[in-house]
A and B are shown apart, each in its own frame.
Chain A
Amino acid sequence: MSKVLPAPSEPSQSSGSKNKIRRKGIPEGLWLRCPGCNEAIFRKEMLRALNTCPECDHHFYVSAKDRIKQVLDDGTFVEWDSELHPADPLEFSDQKKYSDRIHSEQKRTGLREAALTGTGMVRARRVAFGVTDSAFIMGSMGSVVGEKLTRLIERAIEQNLPLIIVSGSGGGARMHEGILSLMQMAKVSAALAKYDAAGGLFISVLTNPTMGGVAASFASLGDLVFAEPKALIGFAGPRTIKATIGVELPEGFQTSEFLLEHGYIDRIVTREKLKSEIARAIDYCGK
């Protein structure tokens, strides 16, 4: 799929974790400069505000694990399909072997793959919950992400659960697994069509960035589509579009606000309100 440049380097650190894993492009230190307002902000305050800027509400990157803590009730998450592990069916190699890349990404992020799925409670409402981590190979979808999400959806059908998927993916469909990644888009979308026919409620939450094959599949198929403020969301990457049409892109192009204006998302929801907004929507839809 089309791909975008990585989002501007953003601080990222597990709010609760003590181990200081230094992630790519992440400044460490007590203070950091907010790309939203350009102010120097106190890291601890940023973390306390769920990785948002206390000055301007800029939404920083959140890891999949932290997202689970933010959205689900404490200690309720039970992971599903954690044993799924990526393979290297193409024996793909660019400047680095894909198998080595997987290994280093696993080490760097502490994740086995770009998605975590399972079940948990949102203010005491049981849900099927999935989240992709944009730090793991750009949050791209290969066979494992596609399979995990499909199993999640199929279990949500069996157990009659509302489905929440929080997307963060600059990479879309993962190039390193070639056509198999592309096919995951159809697989997950087909599972969602089944879920829809079964009457399930799917709330899709878009975060920065949600692009390419992820945007062009499950992320856009929510009965309700929420987006965090100012997230980059779209099909083709801005760089690709610019190269194709040869003109500057308008201010605010492909942001959450742009999508809201054009009618593709239901609500822009700040991180602070995300949990309560999900709970309220579930109540409205009677699940």
Chain B
Amino acid sequence: MPDQVLDFEQPIFDLKDQIVEFESASDDSAGSTEKLREMKRQLTELTKTIYGNLTPWQTVKVARHSDRPYTVDYLSLVFEEFVELHGDKFFGDDRAVRAGFAKLDGIKVMVIGHQKGRNLKERQESYFGCAHPEGYRKAMLKMRMAEKYGLPVICFIDTPGAYPGIGAEERGQAQVIAESMFEMSRLKTPIVCVVIGEGGSGGALGIGVGNKVAMLEHSYYSVISPEGCAGILWKNGRHAEKAADALKFTASYLKNFGVIDDVIEEPLGGAHCDHHSTAARMKSYLVKTLKSLAELSEEELVRDRYERFRKIGVFTEEATINPGTSD
């Protein structure tokens, strides 16, 4: 039983309870075994139905699930080794961003990722995954190091947004996010980014300029949080669900917009139900993607990344319209 059951998951857990109850009370007769098999089949169907039809707002809840695998979980489940590298050599060591050497199926890589924290203490020290400028400076520093020694970079994105605070502004939150995108765009080494939970606006994009950008199936990636959007456009944060629908920030939309390249499928019932299986899928995606990028030269990598972002945007070119003359 997970720590957190989402409202729309309740029927799944009710059925699970029934199965447990039935199992403990039943004998080994053919009838009971058959009934049990039927109940389990129903459970799979129910989970498929619920998880196959998540609304955007439900997706946000899954992406924020307190049992969802975080960066440190992937570090231990996907990689053979992780050697953490701390600090931005300037101000501090932001715990909302983790970085270090890692080995992926024998490939030496640099991993950068937002970290939210599993318990209250961890969450407080990492500001719930909201990075300060020193987090982005640390990320940039380690990426430049990766470039120098020819290590591919893997970024795990999982943040509600960059931290909004006095110190963050004093230390140049806007400038450091801008600089990070600027530097990533021309880094002469492969970069693969995966949104594993929340892709919260500039704080996410600050480590999101990759040759390939993927999302886990039930993560979201947005220009603004649904609550923030509702507060501004509906003048009330309680309309977050409407904002979630309007923002079209789920993986399938982003794939259609050309904003992400790949969607990594989650195990049935969401990543929080099965960390190992999620990690296995992550690993196979990363290995396959790094192998394909390994074929590109440094120049090709930089050009590929530039062109990847260059073509994003939707507009029309109309030479003759005179704005504001027709109704």
> Please, which residue of chain A has its CB at the minimum distance from the CB of B259?
A179
Question: 19 A-B contacts, Cβ less than 8 Å apart?
Answer: A87-B315, A89-B314, A90-B246, A92-B247, A111-B323, A179-B223, A179-B248, A183-B205, A186-B181, A189-B182, A216-B162, A217-B178, A237-B164, A244-B164, A245-B166, A249-B166, A262-B172, A263-B172, A264-B172
Task: Kindly state whether residue B185 has any CB partner on chain A within 8 Å.
Answer: yes
Pairwise interchain contact A95-B234, C-beta atoms closer than 8 A: yes
Task: Kindly state whether residue B169 has any CB partner on chain A within 8 Å.
Answer: yes
Pairwise interchain contact A190-B169, C-beta atoms closer than 8 A: no
Pairwise interchain contact B166-A110, C-beta atoms closer than 8 A: no
With A1-B223, A175-B224, A178-B247: A186-B233 Cβ-Cβ less than 8 Å: no
Contacts of B259 in A (CB 8 A): 179-180, 183
Task: Kindly state whether residue A144 has any CB partner on chain B within 8 Å.
Answer: yes
Pairwise interchain contact B313-A180, C-beta atoms closer than 8 A: yes
B57 smallest CB distance to A (angstroms): 15
Task: Kindly state whether residue B216 has any CB partner on chain A within 8 Å.
Answer: no
Task: Kindly state whether residue A147 has any CB partner on chain B within 8 Å.
Answer: yes
Contacts of A253 in B (CB 8 A): 166, 169
Contact digits for B108-140, partner A, Cβ 8 Å, 1 yes 0 no: 000000000000000000000000000000000
A-B contacts besides A95-B233, A185-B181, A193-B185, 13 pairs, CB < 8 Å = A94-B234, A94-B243, A173-B202, A175-B224, A179-B222, A182-B222, A183-B259, A184-B312, A186-B205, A193-B182, A234-B174, A241-B169, A262-B170
Pairwise interchain contact A264-B175, C-beta atoms closer than 8 A: yes
In the bound assembly, the distance between CA atoms of A146 and B314 in angstroms comes to 10
Contact digits for A143-187, partner B, Cβ 8 Å, 1 yes 0 no: 110110010000000000000000000001111011111111111
**B312's contact among A87, A180, A235, A237, by CB below 8 Å, is which?**
A180
> Please, which residue of chain B has its CB at the minimum distance from the CB of A217?
B178
In the bound assembly, the distance between CA atoms of A150 and B163 in angstroms comes to 28
**A220's contact among B171, B179, B232, by CB below 8 Å, is which?**
B179
Contact digits for A66-110, partner B, Cβ 8 Å, 1 yes 0 no: 000000000000000001111101101111000000010011101
In the bound assembly, the distance between CA atoms of A236 and B175 in angstroms comes to 12
Task: Kindly state whether residue A203 has any CB partner on chain B within 8 Å.
Answer: no
Pairwise interchain contact B165-A244, C-beta atoms closer than 8 A: yes
Pairwise interchain contact A182-B164, C-beta atoms closer than 8 A: no
Pairwise interchain contact B247-A187, C-beta atoms closer than 8 A: no
Contacts of A217 in B (CB 8 A): 177-178, 181
A78 smallest CB distance to B (angstroms): 16
Contacts of A127 in B (CB 8 A): none
Task: Kindly state whether residue B318 has any CB partner on chain A within 8 Å.
Answer: yes
**B223's contact among A182, A186, A249, by CB below 8 Å, is which?**
A182
Task: Kindly state whether residue A44 has any CB partner on chain B within 8 Å.
Answer: no
**B202's contact among A92, A103, A175, A235, by CB below 8 Å, is which?**
A235
Task: Kindly state whether residue A192 has any CB partner on chain B within 8 Å.
Answer: yes
Contact digits for B178-211, partner A, Cβ 8 Å, 1 yes 0 no: 1101110110000000000000011001101100
In the bound assembly, the distance between CA atoms of A235 and B248 in angstroms comes to 24
Pairwise interchain contact B315-A236, C-beta atoms closer than 8 A: no
> Please, which residue of chain B has its CB at the minimum distance from the CB of A189?
B181
**B222's contact among A106, A110, A178, by CB below 8 Å, is which?**
A178
Q: Among residues 241 to 259 in chain A, which have CB atoms less than 8 Å away from a CB atom of chain B?
A: 241, 244-245, 249-250, 253-254, 258
Pairwise interchain contact B177-A85, C-beta atoms closer than 8 A: no
In the bound assembly, the distance between CA atoms of A108 and B324 in angstroms comes to 8
Pairwise interchain contact A182-B178, C-beta atoms closer than 8 A: no
With A215-B174, A262-B172: A241-B166 Cβ-Cβ less than 8 Å: yes
With A178-B248, A235-B168: A186-B208 Cβ-Cβ less than 8 Å: yes
In the bound assembly, the distance between CA atoms of A211 and B175 in angstroms comes to 11
With A84-B315, A178-B248, A180-B312: A250-B166 Cβ-Cβ less than 8 Å: yes
Residue positions of A touching B, CB distance < 8 A = 1-3, 83-87, 89-90, 92-95, 103, 106-108, 110-112, 143-144, 146-147, 150, 172-175, 177-187, 189-194, 196-197, 212-213, 215-221, 233-237, 240-241, 244-245, 249-250, 253-254, 258, 262-264
In the bound assembly, the distance between CA atoms of A194 and B186 in angstroms comes to 8
Contacts of B174 in A (CB 8 A): 215-216, 219-220, 233-235
A135 smallest CB distance to B (angstroms): 14
In the bound assembly, the distance between CA atoms of A187 and B306 in angstroms comes to 8
Task: Kindly state whether residue B257 has any CB partner on chain A within 8 Å.
Answer: yes
A173 smallest CB distance to B (angstroms): 5
Task: Kindly state whether residue B69 has any CB partner on chain A within 8 Å.
Answer: no
**A3's contact among B177, B181, B232, B305, by CB below 8 Å, is which?**
B232
In the bound assembly, the distance between CA atoms of A187 and B305 in angstroms comes to 10
> Please, which residue of chain B has its CB at the minimum distance from the CB of A263?
B172
In the bound assembly, the distance between CA atoms of A177 and B317 in angstroms comes to 17
Task: Kindly state whether residue B228 has any CB partner on chain A within 8 Å.
Answer: yes
In the bound assembly, the distance between CA atoms of A236 and B181 in angstroms comes to 18
Contact digits for B296-327, partner A, Cβ 8 Å, 1 yes 0 no: 00000000011001101111111101011000
> Please, which residue of chain A has its CB at the minimum distance from the CB of B175?
A220
Contacts of B257 in A (CB 8 A): 89, 179-180
> Please, which residue of chain A has its CB at the minimum distance from the CB of B325?
A107
Pairwise interchain contact B314-A180, C-beta atoms closer than 8 A: yes
Contacts of B306 in A (CB 8 A): 190, 194
A97 smallest CB distance to B (angstroms): 11
Pairwise interchain contact A190-B164, C-beta atoms closer than 8 A: no
Pairwise interchain contact B228-A179, C-beta atoms closer than 8 A: no
Task: Kindly state whether residue B249 has any CB partner on chain A within 8 Å.
Answer: yes
With A1-B224, A190-B309, A194-B306: A218-B202 Cβ-Cβ less than 8 Å: no
> Please, which residue of chain B has its CB at the minimum distance from the CB of A2?
B164
Pairwise interchain contact B177-A216, C-beta atoms closer than 8 A: yes
Task: Kindly state whether residue B271 has any CB partner on chain A within 8 Å.
Answer: no
